[in-house]
């Protein structure tokens, strides 16, 4: 989805360090153009005291509607967090036309975004999505680096502020998908893979926090207070006490749901430690204190306890879950050749084979008469066939979709308006326009409707063939926020399951986005206000007063006197993981897509870290806490957070008094809820450029080996550490040659590292240690799926037979081309950067003169990046058959030994042990030619080298066969152990039965039976 288009004018925090003043001034001028197109959305979210906001539009002041105790309130979902900070759309009443009719309004001064193609033309008051829209990426990642290096700039410096306000920017899929921040039920909060490995076709959530009351209150002892506030209108507050456990410690929290008229809902939890220690306190005083912490704007004196708890529960469930939609009705219009207008499409009496093929792809053809009662009928007649005989129906996850197809609805001759069709399709929020190959471009200006807000235009190519494809374009009203999944750059999709999922998801997200537009949000707000008003009038206790001593004394003393309430001592914030909701901070974040600092609100729960845009309240960044690797402080109360594969979020968290109090609280919260650790900056030194720094790293930055005598060990670098930055630049921003030159050419470098976990393993933001997104950063979901399938197929391929080996009695070993093909994975290792690996003691097999070769899957899948080697040098070098070579990772030149010539018999290879661990790497040969000088067998002619390569190939093939046999024997051994265990249990059971028989015989003086039979003896 887009960021802040058509929302309130951007604001920034008043407590911002002096170094960012110039950037913030540029941001305010950049966003100035947005005020003209969105002046109806200005003002605070609650719709009151608008003047206070307009008087200081460049600062997010600590006003009436900002949280008073931000570190004592843990918010359950993103909407509650946005409402607490007065972010989001103002749902004030609207005037004027909406939807497609808005394009024809004479008062409309929006000329459209100017984007057109052969499917769709630019239209006033509409925004077109043609497949060229950028994705807003906040973090510094491989994606942003790829976009910068490939010239795909997302911000044009030549665009004016007004032109920039027309730009559509999508959000990342993981930011669009998240809605709930605290797991209180079976809500799916994301997997353990990085964001690139998760599906990019996601149904953008509605207000999923609406189920909070159902999960945490219904069925438990809880309290409801309701009343009519003089300023806010009807208010209902629910409260429940809950005990939580965090390991060995136990915490008590109070969960609250605040429903304030038609303006906001907050779902929040407060730790019991934040309350006063008064014993035997009443419910009234407890509720008062909780409201003072969460929302002091509510006057507690206006609230009363509710009566008829069961009925109130039912009403609150309906009110809270009102924004959840699971049933959708979508219009489908058929646009023939040389057609483009609404009237032409409605008057197509019959369809075409191309259109019928698309309808069968879109859903299932169902008979309306007698339709299953559990299926959504979408306003169609299922009894008398007055709306046609058939329609198209489909389901996607929990959503039911009924399509209103123009050619399936009744056709009225001599009636150009075709009201029997338009009364259904014209009231649908989302409409599909199916175009024949020679149709004219569509424009929403030809449609007259106040409800049709989104048009998905689809044009068919190569219909009724195996190569049928569909080109897609989307037009949405300017008040409708952008929605995903984004249309691909080509905008062309083959007929496939992937395209079907994309299209249905796009339809669902489109209608959900329409519900978030100003018109429908205002309608829902009015409905909600009336429902809360009825609840207060019918179920509030009448003979109950919440007036405290101060309020009563104030009335008795008249207007001239008052009694001051004792100020509550604000306790220290509770930052541990026992408080699972999201604590919040006002921050500035560096947006790498826009290349500027932006004001934002950060929420950090036990499960997720999110960043909300100001003022739209949309989530512009999200990541699960288990993916956070570490963090490091930077200047001006700044922070770098490393996550996933070393991606970086940069933010600043100033305190009102200029201290580091806020950033300190944020660091403590990170320690409590993540698996990460504080990163450290260290300086590595060496006396000569030819020397090494003493460590090995993979491309992802994980340290694989460290020399105990080198600089890396002395500064604290260990195996399992992760290098995330070199010279203050992210590791993934370096290309191979640059990184090699940097580490070999300098005698001193600064490295930012993250220590390994408590178990010594590296900290990983993705559970897949071989995640392909590290190596191919900008691939589509289809490309990633094809890549994974190809890798699975390669693993299942049988080894190729080598024609040069005739001494084997069994199947022939594979050729070197199949075993030693260059993989795509890369490894930064010692010779590449002048880094020497530590010495390792010789194993028993190595001391006996046997070859030490490691062909394990980990090392065999690594391609060496050597700055001194050409592309042809990236190959596994053969071990000479006439010499036995022992290779040590520390120095290959000192460990090469000649042990006499050997023959090429199979018996030689059967002596190989599974102890073989080291691998002959190409770096070893590139680092120096001492090995070839000391081993005469490696200096022989081409024929000798070919024979040696074949012999080495046979060794590896035999080793693979041995490993397979070992795995088979281990599996057989497990089966034998299982059978033995079963027999032991049977024997024990028999022994117990014999003991029972013996006791029975002794009790009744019966001689036990004899077991002299030979067969019985064998069984026993």
Checking if the pLDDT of 300 tops 60, the result is yes
DSSP 431: E
Look at residue 739 in the predicted model and tell me its pLDDT: 84
Checking if the pLDDT of 283 tops 90, the result is no
Token output for 630: 């570490």
Sign of the C-alpha dihedral computed for residues 72, 77, 83 and 87 taken in this order: positive
φ and ψ of 745, to 5 deg: -90, -20
The rounded distance, in Å, linking the Cα atoms of 920 and 855 is 9
- Mean pLDDT is highest, among 106-120, 602-616, 884-898, for 602-616
Residues 6+ apart with CB under 8 A from 880: 935, 937, 938, 948
Token output for 614: 């100001």
pLDDT in tens, 549-560: 444 444 444 444
The rounded distance, in Å, linking the Cα atoms of 319 and 307 is 17
By mean pLDDT, which of 43-52, 109-118, 733-742, 795-804 is the weakest? 43-52
Sign of the C-alpha dihedral computed for residues 864, 865, 869 and 874 taken in this order: positive
The rounded distance, in Å, linking the Cα atoms of 408 and 421 is 9
pLDDT in tens, 962-1015: 888 888 888 888 889 888 888 888 888 888 888 888 888 887 777 766 554 444
Look at residue 492 in the predicted model and tell me its pLDDT: 93
Which of the pair, 189 or 203, is modelled with greater confidence? 203
In the predicted model, what is the mean pLDDT of residues 431-441?
95
In the predicted model, what is the mean pLDDT of residues 421-429?
93
C-alpha separations of 298 from 234, 550, 644 in Å: 10, 16, 42
pLDDT in tens, 756-765: 998 888 998 8
Checking if the pLDDT of 960 tops 90, the result is no
Look at residue 430 in the predicted model and tell me its pLDDT: 95
Checking if the pLDDT of 902 tops 70, the result is no
φ and ψ of 72, to 5 deg: -110, -5
Look at residue 563 in the predicted model and tell me its pLDDT: 45
Checking if the pLDDT of 585 tops 70, the result is yes
Domain at 327-515: CATH code: 3.40.50.11210
Checking if the pLDDT of 908 tops 90, the result is no
In the predicted model, what is the mean pLDDT of residues 116-130?
91
pLDDT in tens, 804-863: 333 333 333 333 333 333 333 333 333 333 333 333 333 333 333 333 333 333 333 333
Superfamily of domain 677-762: PDZ domain (2.30.42.10)
Look at residue 784 in the predicted model and tell me its pLDDT: 52
Look at residue 92 in the predicted model and tell me its pLDDT: 53
Residue carrying the six token digits 């950028």: 134
Helix (H, G, I), strand (E, B) or coil at 611: strand
- Mean pLDDT is highest, among 253-267, 770-784, 945-959, for 253-267
DSSP 306: B
Look at residue 497 in the predicted model and tell me its pLDDT: 93
Q: Which residues of 604-615 are buried (b: 16+ CB within 10 A; e: fewer)?
A: bbbbbbbbbbbb
pLDDT-derived band at 37 (thresholds 50, 70, 90) equals very low
Helix (H, G, I), strand (E, B) or coil at 258: strand
φ and ψ of 866, to 5 deg: -120, 120
Apex CA 237: angle with CA 535 and CA 543, to 5°? Answer: 60
Count of residues for the chain? Answer: 1020
Residue carrying the six token digits 């194993």: 843
In the predicted model, what is the mean pLDDT of residues 623-644?
92
Checking if the pLDDT of 909 tops 80, the result is no
Look at residue 213 in the predicted model and tell me its pLDDT: 92
Contact, 48 vs 231, CB < 8 A?
yes
Q: Tell me the pTM.
A: 0.70
CA dihedral 846, 849, 853, 856 (to 10 degrees): -50
Strand 390-396 vs strand 135-136: parallel, antiparallel, or unpaired? unpaired
Q: Which residues of 467-488 are buried (b: 16+ CB within 10 A; e: fewer)?
A: ebbbbbbbbbbbbbbbbbbbbe
Residue carrying the six token digits 């698309």: 358
- Average pLDDT score, the chain: 74
pLDDT-derived band at 14 (thresholds 50, 70, 90) equals very low
In the predicted model, what is the mean pLDDT of residues 239-258?
83
Residues 6+ apart with CB under 8 A from 154: 134, 136, 147, 169, 593, 594
Look at residue 345 in the predicted model and tell me its pLDDT: 94
Residues 6+ apart with CB under 8 A from 796: none
The rounded distance, in Å, linking the Cα atoms of 70 and 85 is 10
In the predicted model, what is the mean pLDDT of residues 209-226?
91
* Biggest distance spanned by C-alpha atoms of the chain: 113
Checking if the pLDDT of 740 tops 80, the result is yes
By mean pLDDT, which of 415-424, 426-435, 579-588, 772-781 is the weakest? 772-781
DSSP 459: E
Token output for 82: 């946005």
pLDDT-derived band at 775 (thresholds 50, 70, 90) equals low
Closest CA to 493 of 453, 443, 456: 456
Look at residue 645 in the predicted model and tell me its pLDDT: 87
By mean pLDDT, which of 246-250, 277-281, 529-533, 645-649 is the weakest? 277-281
φ and ψ of 176, to 5 deg: -75, -30
The rounded distance, in Å, linking the Cα atoms of 206 and 509 is 9
Domain at 208-323+525-560: CATH code: 3.30.1120.160
Helix (H) or strand (E) holding 583: strand 583-591
pLDDT in tens, 42-101: 333 333 333 333 333 333 433 346 777 888 899 999 999 999 998 887 665 444 555 555
Half-sphere exposure in the Cβ direction for 395 (13 Å, CA) = 7
Checking if the pLDDT of 138 tops 60, the result is yes
Contact, 126 vs 444, CB < 8 A?
yes
Q: DSSP characters for 787-828?
A: HHHHHHHHHHPPPPPPTT--S-SSSPPPPHHHHS---S-EEE
pLDDT in tens, 448-484: 888 899 999 999 999 999 999 999 999 999 889 999 8
Work out the percent of the chain whose per-residue pLDDT is above 90. 33
Residues 6+ apart with CB under 8 A from 275: 254, 286, 289, 290
Look at residue 743 in the predicted model and tell me its pLDDT: 83
Look at residue 222 in the predicted model and tell me its pLDDT: 92
Q: For residue 139, how many other CB atoms are within 10 A of its CB? A: 25
In the predicted model, what is the mean pLDDT of residues 631-649?
92
């Amino acid at each position: 989805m887009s960021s802040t288009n058509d929302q309130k004018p951007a604001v920034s925090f008043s407590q911002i360090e002096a170094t960012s003043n110039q950037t913030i001034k540029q941001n305010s001028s950049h966003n100035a153009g947005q005020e003209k197109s969105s002046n109806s959305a200005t003002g605070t979210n609650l719709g009151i005291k608008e003047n206070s906001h307009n008087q200081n539009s460049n600062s997010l002041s600590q006003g009436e509607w900002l949280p008073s105790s931000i570190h004592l309130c843990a918010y359950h979902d993103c909407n509650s967090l946005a409402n607490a900070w007065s972010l989001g759309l103002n749902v004030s009443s609207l005037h004027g036309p909406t939807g497609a009719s808005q394009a024809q309004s004479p008062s409309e001064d929006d000329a459209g975004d100017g984007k057109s193609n052969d499917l769709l033309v630019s239209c006033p008051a509409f925004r077109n999505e043609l497949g060229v829209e950028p994705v807003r990426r906040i973090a510094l990642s491989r994606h942003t680096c790829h976009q910068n290096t490939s010239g795909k700039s997302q911000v044009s410096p030549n665009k004016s502020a007004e032109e920039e306000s027309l730009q559509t920017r999508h959000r990342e899929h993981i930011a669009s998908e998240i809605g709930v921040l605290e797991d209180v039920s079976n809500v799916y909060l994301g997997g353990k893979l990085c964001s690139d490995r998760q599906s990019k076709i996601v149904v953008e959530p509605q207000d999923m926090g609406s189920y909070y009351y159902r999960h945490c209150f219904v069925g438990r002892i809880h309290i409801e207070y309701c009343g009519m506030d003089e300023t806010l209108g009807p208010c209902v507050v629910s409260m429940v006490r809950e005990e939580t456990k965090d390991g060995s410690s136990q915490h008590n929290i109070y969960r609250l749901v605040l429903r304030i008229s038609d303006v906001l809902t907050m779902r929040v939890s407060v730790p019991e430690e934040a309350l006063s220690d008064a014993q035997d306190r009443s419910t009234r005083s407890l509720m008062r204190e909780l409201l003072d912490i969460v929302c002091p704007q509510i006057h507690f004196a206006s609230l009363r306890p509710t009566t008829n708890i069961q009925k109130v529960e039912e009403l609150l469930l309906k009110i809270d879950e009102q924004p959840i939609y699971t049933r959708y009705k979508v219009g489908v219009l058929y646009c023939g050749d040389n057609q483009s207008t609404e009237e032409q499409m409605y008057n197509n009496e019959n369809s075409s084979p191309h259109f019928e093929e698309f309808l069968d792809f879109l859903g299932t053809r169902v008979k309306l008469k007698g339709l299953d009662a559990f299926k959504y009928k979408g306003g169609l007649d299922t009894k008398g066939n007055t709306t046609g005989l058939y329609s198209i129906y489909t389901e996607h996850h929990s959503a039911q979709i009924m399509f209103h197809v123009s050619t399936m609805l009744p056709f009225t001759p001599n009636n150009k308006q075709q009201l029997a069709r338009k009364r259904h399709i014209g009231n649908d929020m989302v409409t599909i326009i199916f175009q024949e190959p020679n149709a004219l471009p569509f424009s929403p200006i030809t449609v007259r409707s106040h409800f049709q807000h989104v048009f998905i235009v689809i044009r068919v190519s190569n219909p009724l063939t195996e190569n049928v494809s569909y080109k897609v374009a989307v037009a949405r009203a300017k008040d409708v926020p952008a929605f995903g999944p984004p249309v691909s750059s080509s905008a062309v999709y083959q007929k496939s399951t992937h395209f079907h999922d994309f299209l249905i998801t796009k339809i669902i997200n489109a209608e959900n986005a329409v519900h978030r537009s100003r018109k429908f949000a205002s309608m829902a707000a009015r409905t909600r206000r009336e429902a809360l008003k009825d609840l207060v009038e019918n179920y509030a206790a009448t003979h109950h007063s919440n007036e405290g001593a101060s309020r009563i004394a104030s009335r008795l003393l008249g207007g001239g006197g008052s009694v001051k309430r004792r100020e509550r001592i604000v306790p220290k914030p509770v930052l541990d993981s026992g408080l699972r909701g999201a604590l919040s901070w006002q921050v500035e974040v560096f947006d790498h897509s826009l290349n500027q600092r932006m004001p934002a609100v950060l929420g950090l729960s036990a499960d997720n870290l999110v960043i909300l845009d100001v003022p739209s309240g949309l989530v512009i960044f999200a990541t699960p806490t288990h993916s956070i690797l570490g963090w490091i402080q930077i200047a001006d109360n700044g922070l770098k957070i490393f996550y996933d594969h070393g991606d970086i979020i940069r933010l600043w968290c100033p305190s009102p008094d200029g201290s580091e109090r806020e950033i300190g609280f944020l660091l403590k919260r990170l320690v409590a809820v993540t698996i990460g650790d504080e990163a450290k900056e260290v300086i590595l030194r060496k006396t000569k450029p030819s020397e090494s720094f003493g460590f090995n790293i993979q491309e992802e930055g994980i340290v694989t080996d460290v020399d105990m005598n080198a600089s890396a060990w002395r500064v604290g670098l260990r195996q399992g550490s992760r290098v995330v930055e070199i010279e203050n630049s992210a590791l993934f921003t370096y290309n191979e040659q640059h990184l090699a030159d940097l580490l070999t050419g300098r005698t001193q470098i600064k490295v930012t590292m993250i220590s390994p976990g408590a178990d010594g393993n590296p900290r990983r933001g993705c559970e897949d240690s071989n995640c392909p997104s590290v190596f191919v950063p900008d691939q589509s979901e289809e490309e990633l799926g094809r890549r994974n399938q190809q890798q699975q197929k390669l693993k299942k391929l049988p080894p190729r037979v080598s024609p040069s080996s005739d001494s084997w009695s069994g199947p022939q070993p594979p050729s070197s081309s199949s075993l030693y093909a260059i993989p795509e994975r890369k490894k930064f290792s010692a010779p590449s950067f002048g880094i020497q690996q530590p010495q390792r003691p010789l194993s028993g097999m190595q001391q006996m003169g046997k070859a030490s070769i490691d062909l394990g899957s980990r090392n065999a899948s690594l391609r060496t990046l050597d700055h001194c080697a050409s592309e042809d040098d990236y190959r596994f070098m053969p071990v000479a058959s006439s010499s036995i070579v022992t290779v040590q990772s520390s120095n290959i030149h000192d460990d090469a030994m000649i042990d006499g010539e050997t023959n090429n018999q199979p018996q030689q290879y059967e002596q190989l042990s599974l102890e073989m661990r080291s691998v002959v790497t190409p770096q070893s040969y590139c680092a120096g030619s001492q090995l070839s000088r000391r081993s005469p067998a490696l200096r022989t002619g081409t024929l000798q080298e070919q024979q040696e390569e074949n012999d080495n190939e046979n060794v590896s093939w035999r080793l693979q066969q041995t490993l397979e046999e070992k795995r088979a024997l281990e599996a057989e051994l497990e089966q034998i152990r299982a059978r033995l265990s079963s027999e032991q249990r049977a024997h024990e059971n028999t022994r117990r039965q014999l003991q029972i028989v013996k006791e029975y015989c002794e009790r009744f003086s019966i001689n036990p039976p004899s077991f002299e039979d030979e067969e019985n003896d064998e069984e026993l």
